Structure 1
Amino acid sequence: MSRSKPTPAPITAIAACVFELPAVGEPIQLFPAGQFKARDGRPFDVEGGHWIIDAGIVSQVMARAAARSTDLVIDYEHQTLNTEKNGQPAPAAGWLQGADMEWREGQGLYATRPNWTVPAAEFIERREYRYLSPVFAYDTRTGAVLELLHVAITNNPAIDGMESLALAAARFQPAAPANQPAKEKHGVNREQLITLLKLASDASDEDIQAALAQMQASADQVPQLEQALAVAKAGTPDPAKFVPLAVVEDLKKDIAVLKATQIGGEVEALVKAGLDDGRLLPAQEEWARGLGATNMAALRTYLKTTPAIAALKSQQTGGKAPVPEKVEQLDAEALAVCRSLGVEPKDYLATLQA
């Protein structure tokens, strides 16, 4: 006679979901009927991708709640889960009796007579708290709800879920029947994980997740880094990206020559224009060339601010052979030019006589 295999024990985990709070005194919904998910897509550890509670499953949930010797607590912001971590008290917002639960087909599981504390009732009436978040154990193979653990009123549904509640599972997980062997444990515990990631001893769940994500990102870059290292060791640069050093040096020389030629041409043009219109004395020609070679901007500024002198302009021949003219002394206009340019009259007279 063949013996049927025993049904394996469910693998439990902890989760929470969120519902809108009704007015004080009205029944509160703990679970919807059928399949449901959290707002961010959880559960991620259930093959079907959803939790489930129906008329067949709920009988076990209600029986476990009714068998409790104490009422189920309704707290603020899941502080019951966080009190060991942050050291803060976890005051009750209300209480639920296990016997006051009712299954409404097509709607879900309700607590018909929630007993709110006075502060919590005032918060709810003023809509300072709007959401209800039950915390429950579930079978990770099927998603079936196993037991209601406690309930919270909250305004921040994003904090609920496996990521923030998984570490509390050990405290709230239902005990396995005595005739079933304890589930074998695999992997490292939280303390070992913190040590491996080189985090502080009081690292939060978010710190651990961030460190694991960074480690994964670094691992993804390893193939690219190995390929870059191999190319560098091979010493075979890509011709499309590199040119010979000799070519670079020749280009630098050509650029220098072109730049010098361009500057020289500009200096010659400026000096010639200055001599032609009387802004430069013949004695200033070499000085103007040297200034332009070293500081083109200074030469331009000088010529721009120096007026053209008719007396000097009349001495220019425009490329024609000069007509000899005896200059014995400077007239008033020439003397004014000397004063404006700071030139000694005798030096200027000698220049004109020459």
Structure 2
Amino acid sequence: MSTQHALMVALTAEATTSTGFGETTGRIQLFPLGTFVARDGRPATIKGVTAKAWRLTEEDAQALIKRWGQQKTPVVIDYEHQTHHSETNGKPAPAAGWIAGLELTPAGVFASVEWTDRARALIRAKEYRFISPVFSYDKDTGAVLELVSVALTNHPALDGMQSAQAKTDLGGHPNMDKILAMLRKLLGLPDTADEAACTAALAALPQENLLALLKSKDDALTATQTALAAAKATPPDTSQYVSMATFTAVQSESAQLRAKVAELEGAQAVAALTTEIDAALKDGRLAASAKDWALGMAKSNPENLRAFLKAVPPIPALAGQQSAANGQPGDDAGLAALTADDKYVCDQLGITAEDYLKGKPKEGN
């Protein structure tokens, strides 16, 4: 089989205006399944082409869709194939729309379309009514290989295609997302189904099946509304609830109890450490000025205080400050106990406590 490709403008489908919800929107038929030829005899009339007709089997269609899915750049829909004529005539080639998806159905390959506002208006005004794909194909077998582009045109190449339709204003409905979500659930479609897929599924559903489906949903809604009304009419069981005032009072009482427990626990911690604090004041591990700090630590962090008292060495110069502060003679009865500031001055001057006290002014002098 030859692998030579040729680009060919072919298949055309009439583009009509959709005026109501439920019709297929933004959807065009690109190719039918089977074999087909253009009205002018192509591809048999093309020089160098052996195939007498184009061919699209299910396998061909699946390969075509796979190739399209591998493209990163979307396939353009232009006007009169201007994309391919722009280099020669120098005219711009604006897009009329973009191919958003391809789907294989028993009727052939269809495309979901994102029309531009201008193209949509032209289609509704019937200034453009047909589409024409550009595709590559095998010259020997006629098998369709790849979709290259699509054009809006008024000169179709093929008769008998299903009509395509421009996207309606439904996409601008303020509740469109909710409508699509309900339709997906109603029709059993996946969450990824877009507007075109939903409307296509509705169009394919026989009328009697659609009416039965709507009736079943309506019955379910009625049953739900009845159940809600019954629940609303039934008074609540007051034994299962308390008033907000009672709830607030319980919360306040609980907070007070927690605060009282914390206070008692702190008092217990202080009482348990009082003996150790007194011993530390007596042997010089704590200065008298640090007593309040130690009592606070006993309440807030007793374990850290215990660790501190075990680690800090006794300072003889501080020994007995607590007894002296209480008006009782300390261990060194002949000399007044040094304060922490006095001890710091002695250390800085390099003198003994006795020399320092001899030179220190007496209180009241």
TM-score by length of 1: 0.40
TM-score by length of 2: 0.39
Which structure's relative contact order is higher, taking Cα pairs within 8 Å and 6+ residues apart?
2
